[in-house]
Amino acid sequence: KKQQLLHKIGRYESLSKLDPVDLEREFALTEFELSDEDVESFTGYHDGNAGEEVENAEEYIREIILDYLDETTKRNWLPFESLVIDVFREELSSAGELEADELVGIAVGRVKEWVIQTGSVDQSREFCLKELERNQDWRKFVMDEEEVAAEMEVDILWSLVDDLLVDLMV
């Protein structure tokens, strides 16, 4: 147990040596700018909101976003694709009176927020999965209260055990 605790402390110490992420640089590298032509072309897909048109819109969204990604990011795109398409689909379903350029702007803004919050591609993958899980829970509208309570109890227990071990080490 002592070895495990020392190993855990070593991991935490190594975390303190990490360099901060330059969010402005990361944001600049992944900035999406949509041309007027893209927005006008998207308008045709948006009008009507029939199922087939939404599928075509999703294909078009993939094309637009892939146009703005560099080659390295394209190789890492797969984890993001379904998440971004879900964002656009959600915006399409709740768009109501929005114009196509406003719709695209909102969805692209949400994608930018994820990039800013995450700071790097590796972290983005993990954040992407967490966001997908969170959205799936949101779609259910209700999480089982007992499940949440049990998770909180486990987290509190582990926190108390960690505090106890730290106190015993001192």
Residue 50's pLDDT is 45
Res. 102: pLDDT tops 50: yes
pTM (predicted TM-score)? 0.32
> Domain coordinates of the chain in residue numbers?
22-142
Q: How confident is the model at residue 18 (pLDDT cuts 50, 70, 90)?
A: low
CB burial readout 30-44, b (16+ within 10 A) else e:
bebebeeebbeebee
Give pLDDT tens digits for 140-159.
Answer: 544 566 777 788 888 888 88
Res. 115: pLDDT tops 60: no
Q: Ramachandran region of residue 3, left (φ > 0), alpha (ψ -120 to 50) or beta?
A: alpha
Res. 46: pLDDT tops 50: no
| 47 vs 126: CA distance, rounded Å | 34
Mean pLDDT computed over 162-169: 86
- Decide: 57 and 46 in contact? Cβ < 8 Å: yes
